[in-house]
Structure 1
Amino acid sequence: MILWLTTFAFSIASALLPFLPIEVYIVGAGSTEHGTAAAISLGIAAGAGATIGKIVWYELARRGAESAWAQKKLSKPKVKATYEKWVARMQGRPVYAAGVMFVAASAGIPPLLAMSAVGGLLKMPLWVFVPTVFVGRTIRFTLLFLGVDFAIH
């Protein structure tokens, strides 16, 4: 249980601070546990923590879009038109938005930290963002834990 909570906590920190790579932690933590059930459990803990951390980035960007500085930038017609076009794409096409976010969450391309901010700026629906990031991150981290388990045991 302590490893599960530590994994959860470290994944929150890693999601907020990009200089704390969760993958390095997974190699170390994964070497202490054995079995598919442990890998799945730890993958869920890491996925949940990462999702919480990315929600923070999402919310910071979403609220920042309403700041005086952002509104000044959006007062330029070309910038505003581009922004509104992307907002319409994201809000009007949740499957498209979820697909892009899922690839970022599971494969890391484009980086999920950047995509979390973009999702917030473009007002991606939170009901799409949260489960997509959670599932993508959980799959990624579970596979990493399974890979460590396979390599060591």
Structure 2
Amino acid sequence: MTETALAFVMGAVSALFPVINVELYLMGMGALGGGVLFAMAVAAGIGQTLAKVVYFYLGRGALNIPWLKRRAETPSKWAERAERWRAKAEGRPLWTMGLVGVSSFSSIPPFMVVAVLAGTLRMPLLSFVVVTFVTRTARFAALVYAPGVAMGLL
């Protein structure tokens, strides 16, 4: 499997199972170098975006996947905050897109929670996909090039 295809798979799987870390994989590949780093960032961005659509549709109530529902409904320290974000975002599409973008790029608040929230708020799917793809790809590009930049500074 090529590095780009593996980045896509890692991106998709890590989006569904957060214990798998695509960021570490991309940074490791960046440390090894190679000419396909940006392609890997794009592939991981596509994989993450497609997989996060599952959480988006879970928020819309369109999917009935028991283990995903349990993850989305499990009370946590973020549950109260998620309710406040929902209240702020309701009826404010630009605020919602901003929240999705910030969360997608920084993972604060956790993007899995925000993806469910975006679905709950009926954010247009196209807006969710575009914002998610652009910000996730930017995040992954920064990470895949970080080792080379760090080595260049030494």
Fold shared per TM-score above 0.5: yes
100 and 46 in structure 1: CA distance in 2 versus 1, 3 angstrom threshold:
same
Which runs of 5 or more structure 1 residues have no equivalent in the other structure?
67-82
* Match status 1:60 vs 2:54: no
Q: What does residue 150 of structure 1 align with?
A: 149
Aligned ranges for residues 1-153 of structure 1 at < 5 Å?
2-34=2-34, 38-63=36-61, 86=86, 89-90=89-90, 92-152=91-151
Deviation at 1:128, TM superposition (A): 1.2
Q: Distance in 2 between matches of 1:108 and 1:120?
A: 17
Q: Distance in 1 between matches of 2:48 and 2:23?
A: 12
Q: Distance in 1 between matches of 2:9 and 2:24?
A: 15
Q: Distance in 1 between matches of 2:96 and 2:112?
A: 15
TM-score (structure 2 length as normaliser): 0.76
Kindly report the root-mean-square deviation, in angstroms, between the aligned alpha carbons of the 2 structures: 2.5
Deviation at 1:21, TM superposition (A): 1.4
Deviation at 1:55, TM superposition (A): 0.4
TM-score (structure 1 length as normaliser): 0.76
Q: Deviations over 1:110-149 (max 9, x none)?
A: 1111100111122111121110010110000000011022
Which runs of 5 or more structure 2 residues have no equivalent in the other structure?
65-82
State the number of aligned residues: 132
109 and 100 in structure 1: CA distance in 2 versus 1, 3 angstrom threshold:
same
**Secondary structure of the corresponding residue to residue 61 of structure 2:** helix
**Secondary structure of the corresponding residue to residue 109 of structure 1:** coil
